[in-house]
Amino acid sequence: MELYRMTATELSEMIAHKKISSVELTRSVLDRIASRDKEIGAYLTVDEEGALAQAAKVDAKLAAGESLSPLAGIPLGIKDNICTRGIRTTCASKMLGNFVPPYNATVIEKLQAADYVCLGKLNMDEFAMGSSTETSYFQKTRNPHDLERVPGGSSGGSAAAVAAGEAIVTLGSDTGGSIRQPASYCGVVGLKPTYGSVSRYGLVAFASSLDQIGPMARSVSDTALLYSIICGQDPHDVTTARRSYSDFVAGMQPSVKGLKIGIPQEYFGEGVAAEVRESVMNVAREYEKMGAELVEISLPSTSYALAAYYIIASAEASSNLARFDGVKYGFRAAEYKNLEELYENTRSEGFGAEVKRRIMLGTYVLSSGYYDAYYKKAKFTQLMIQDRFRQAFQSCDVILTPTAPDTAFKLGENINDQIKMYMNDILTVTVNIAGLPAISIPCGRDSKNLPIGCQLIGSKFSEQTLFNTAAAYENLVGGFDLDQAIC
């Protein structure tokens, strides 16, 4: 089999036993990018030279008899909102088109310590605002399963790269579903970790209280492997939890015997495509056959969560993105007569339409006279939602829902209808609002032969349970079939 098609877990073993070199593997993936990415458009920057140099370094270390991390020598793609020292980090925005960070994100430091190989930076919706990767200033990314369709978003490049064999595993970020929805659309696995388990230092902020970096991969164990490396408390990010983490790969026990799986009716409603509903209920029945107990539960209205999400996320975004003003870094408008014009022209020319809408919405909900009715009420709604999840987890261990209301839509289909686009997030935003972990795994295809994803939601820091539950289904179906995308 071509090396680029294999999982990190398999490749790690082969590298460690010197059956293959990291350079061979990296070459294989770079060749794949060279041949495939013209169509897919997953990468904004490919660092061929750096990747091969890093791979050679790993090979040298192994030759010298060093024992390395299981991620050593594995080629990764990184979402382009995670700062990489010396490598352009654009957030897929004109605003940061030429921005080269002078520092590394904490997750990048951790990956470097684990001797990873950095392939380059992946396309996304501009500043992670969007659900189709179409708001990228630079390029469209196509779904490897159907090139007429979007890969989902905002981590569309991360999902498409993994699905198309253009990376072994990737990092994405998830503020309202930005890892899980594209994972679902591209038929791969994506984990949105518990808020506070992965450092946000170096992740260009969209919504600080909701953003989390997470892994995307073609298998559950690869997802667990990458998560084991990136999680942990970071002194540079005081919102990371003060706790220690076990090795999630070693802790893997793919069984659901005795597990209580909650099924919230609110997530299987009218807005969800029948084929998607049926597929996810099928997963539930398989779990039941494997010894799990299905429990009907009730969660708060998804429209509350969506409203609270768009208010909180946009409020924080309006403030987080204020620093892009043409003064210190990034784009500066060519024409201006004074400071005010420098600000207005830079920001008007540098940001795309979706980013401007979110900034305006955020400014509105924080402005004098509206703060209490919108922002504050949304924050109290968030508390209510968190509380309802706490109650729900008293009667179940994990919650099973569809990841997205439907499968991948066509490029351009929703781009002019914001509300329709926002509805893509309706099943995922609640998890961010509640700060919980959730994993999306493939669970079949619809009549258009597009991947369907289901979402497993756990209580805080229950990632191991999610991996175990997801792996039980993965084992049952004999792994996730990506032949169509990866061929």
Distance, in Å, from the CA atom of 29 to the CA atom of 50, rounded to the nearest integer, reads: 14
Report the residue from 379, 461, 476, 484 that binds other proteins according to the rule CB under 8 A: 379
Token digits of residue 60: 């040298």
The footprint of other proteins on residues 342-361 (CB under 8 A) is: 342-345, 347-348, 351, 356-357, 359-361
How far apart are the two ends of the chain, measured CA to CA in Å?
11
Active-site position among 12, 21, 93, 178: 178
Distance, in Å, from the CA atom of 186 to the CA atom of 188, rounded to the nearest integer, reads: 6
Stretch that binds other proteins, among 14-22, 36-44, 59-67, 95-103 (CB under 8 A): 95-103
The footprint of other proteins on residues 299-328 (CB under 8 A) is: 300-301, 303-304, 306-308, 310-311, 315-316, 318-319, 322-328
Active site residue 154: yes
Chain centroid to CA 206: 13
380 binds other proteins (CB under 8 A): yes
Q: Yes or no: say if 121 and 73 are a contact pair by the CB < 8 Å rule.
A: no
Closer Cβ to other proteins, 62 or 433, answer by number: 433
Buried b (16+ CB within 10 A) or exposed e, 343-365: bebbbeebbbebbeebbebbbbb
Handedness of CA 316, 77, 412, 408 (dihedral sign): negative
Given the structure tokens 């409020």, which residue do they identify? 315
Q: Least distance (Å) from other proteins to the CB of residue 412? A: 17
Q: Least distance (Å) from other proteins to the CB of residue 329? A: 4
Asked if residue 154 has a cis previous peptide bond (ω within 30° of 0), the answer is yes
Token digits of residue 252: 């893997």
375 binds other proteins (CB under 8 A): yes
Distances (CA, A) of 17 to 14, 22, 52, 67: 5, 11, 20, 11
Q: Least distance (Å) from other proteins to the CB of residue 449? A: 32
Chain centroid to CA 198: 12
Closer Cβ to other proteins, 336 or 461, answer by number: 336
The footprint of other proteins on residues 421-460 (CB under 8 A) is: 422
461 binds other proteins (CB under 8 A): no
289 binds other proteins (CB under 8 A): no
Report the residue from 204, 457, 485, 486 that binds other proteins according to the rule CB under 8 A: 204
The footprint of other proteins on residues 214-273 (CB under 8 A) is: 235-239, 242
Q: How many CB atoms lie within 10 A of CB 285?
A: 11
Active-site position among 22, 93, 154, 158: 154
137 binds other proteins (CB under 8 A): no
Closer Cβ to other proteins, 308 or 452, answer by number: 308
Handedness of CA 425, 167, 42, 172 (dihedral sign): positive
391 binds other proteins (CB under 8 A): no
Q: Least distance (Å) from other proteins to the CB of residue 134? A: 16
Stretch that binds other proteins, among 151-159, 174-182, 201-209, 289-297 (CB under 8 A): 201-209
Residues forming the active site: 79, 154, 178
